[in-house]
Chain A
Amino acid sequence: GENVEQHPSTLSVQEGDSAVIKCTYSDSASNYFPWYKQELGKRPQLIIDIRSNVGEKKDQRIAVTLNKTAKHFSLHITETQPEDSAVYFCAAHMMYSGGGADGLTFGKGTHLIIQP
């Protein structure tokens, strides 16, 4: 079926350094790619998203890039801070197999650890 692959599963960086998380997707018709942040014991919350008509979007220290030809997109966090420690999920909008409806399919998540 359609899926989203996310790498790495765990990422440890020094405070102040940059972090990059990568995802690939299988459905070439997908055109909406959000990123969610989940702090320990909390619900996932949207931090940034991108649609297929743009290649890059930035919001302060966070940016997302999209390569539709290669079917991959990435999350970039610069000047990392302790509060960036969390699990990050990528997602892609695609048709659900057999259901005739569409929605978000999530990657398995990346545990980002910011070392002081």
Chain B
Amino acid sequence: NAGVTQTPKFRVLKTGQSMTLLCAQDMNHEYMYWYRQDPGMGLRLIHYSVGEGTTAKGEVPDGYNVSRLKKQNFLLGLESAAPSQTSVYFCASSRRQGYTEAFFGQGTRLTVV
């Protein structure tokens, strides 16, 4: 009964380092999303995917890349981390049509120093 699982939960990076955040869902959902949450800014969509092998840009895609090689996994990559990418990152998934509940992972707190 895992739902949506994100790894890692916490990470500290130095400016210029790279990392990958992993999101895994076991609900057979078609849609997956990556959001960042900053104080006073709400949840802003970074990238999303409407199915295996597809990805698209959201509201704030710059500095991030994503991949969806398997239906259950959605990876978010930072190639060269910047302090402006310090944030809490949430992955979410939903059923195909998008008219249904989005289930969130527990979040990843990333600090770039």
Residues of A within 8 A of B (CB): 1, 6, 9, 31-32, 34, 42-46, 49, 51, 89, 91, 93, 96, 98-109
Give the CA-CA distance A34 to B101 in the complex, in Å. Answer: 7
- The size class of the interface chain B forms with chain A is 20 to 34
In the complex where A34-B101, A43-B104, A51-B99 touch, is A107 in contact with B42 (Cβ < 8 A)? Answer: yes
Find chain B residues with CB under 8 A from A34 CB: 101-102
Find chain B residues with CB under 8 A from A42 CB: 106
In the complex where A89-B42, A103-B31 touch, is A46 in contact with B101 (Cβ < 8 A)? Answer: yes
Give the CA-CA distance A49 to B104 in the complex, in Å. Answer: 16
Residues of B within 8 A of A (CB): 31, 33, 35, 40-43, 45, 48, 50, 56-59, 90, 94, 97-102, 104-107
Find chain B residues with CB under 8 A from A6 CB: 42
Find chain A residues with CB under 8 A from B104 CB: 43-45
Asked if residues B42 and A108 are in contact (CB atoms below 8 Å), the reply is yes
**Pick from B40, B41, B98: contact of A103, CB under 8 Å:** B98
Find chain B residues with CB under 8 A from A108 CB: 40-42
Give me the 5 closest cross-chain CB pairs, A-B, nearest first.
A108-B42, A99-B56, A43-B104, A106-B43, A102-B98
Asked if residues A93 and B98 are in contact (CB atoms below 8 Å), the reply is yes
**Pick from B48, B99, B100, B107: contact of A99, CB under 8 Å:** B48
Find chain B residues with CB under 8 A from A89 CB: 42-43
Find chain A residues with CB under 8 A from B101 CB: 34, 46, 49
In the complex where A45-B104, A89-B42, A103-B31 touch, is A96 in contact with B48 (Cβ < 8 A)? Answer: yes
Give the CA-CA distance A96 to B100 in the complex, in Å. Answer: 16
In the complex, which of the residues B31, B35, B57, B102 has the most CB atoms of chain A within 10 Å of its own CB atom?
A: B102
